[in-house]
Amino acid sequence: MEDNEEVGEEYLFKIVLIGDSAVGKSNLLSRFARNEFDTNSKATIGVEFQTQVVEIEGKEVKAQIWDTAGQERFRAVTSAYYRGAVGALVVYDISRRTTFDSIKRWLEELTIHCDTTVARMLVGNKCDLENIREVSIEEGKSLAEEEGLFFMETSALDSTNVQTAFEIVIREIYNNISRKVL
């Protein structure tokens, strides 16, 4: 199926989750799509996606959100994973600086594989781990400003901002398309 295509009265947007292993990508998706959190989530190999329906301006928007499901451990996220994506959540773990240091590399990969108009959100996950924080909110904000990204700190564990982060990206994609149509 073509991404970013109008299906009857509906819209279908492909959104990818990227970022280092164990930053919480799978849990962000399960929290958003099923309101579930899995403390023992093992990285399974192979690409998976989930479709979530969101209503914007009375229109049904389907967000097809792709999860790397472990590919990133081998630095082997394929171009098929990125193909047709119109949105991306680029995730790090606020309690592990190395995952923040990797963000530039993930952004480069996104640039190689996706259109420049892809809606991008920088996500600092695990904000519930304040006591072992290694990356400040200010650092996250300033990187986002520098790179022209939306920014949000989230917690898949306690649900903080998870819904909002996905919805901002979905809304931005919708707005991009509406602008094109006009």
First to last CA, the chain: 25
**Contact range with Mg ion by CB under 5 A, out of 43-51, 94-102, 149-157, 167-175:** 43-51
Asked whether the beta carbons of 120 and 104 are under 8 A apart, the reply is: no
Which one, 5 or 130, has the nearer CB to ligand GDP?
Answer: 130
**Contact range with Mg ion by CB under 5 A, out of 3-11, 22-30, 96-104, 123-131:** 22-30
Residues 148-167 that bind ligand GDP (CB under 6 A): 155-157
Which structure tokens are listed for 70? 């472990």
Binds ligand GDP by CB under 6 A, chosen from 12, 16, 25, 161: 25
Alpha carbon of residue 97 to chain centroid: 19
Residue 78 CB neighbour total at 10 angstroms: 11
Q: Does 54 bind ligand GDP (CB under 6 A)?
A: no
Q: Does 26 bind Mg ion (CB under 5 A)?
A: yes
Helix pair 25-34, 162-181: axis angle to 10 deg:
80
Site of interaction with ligand GDP (CB under 6 A): 21-27, 39, 41, 43, 125-126, 128-129, 155-157
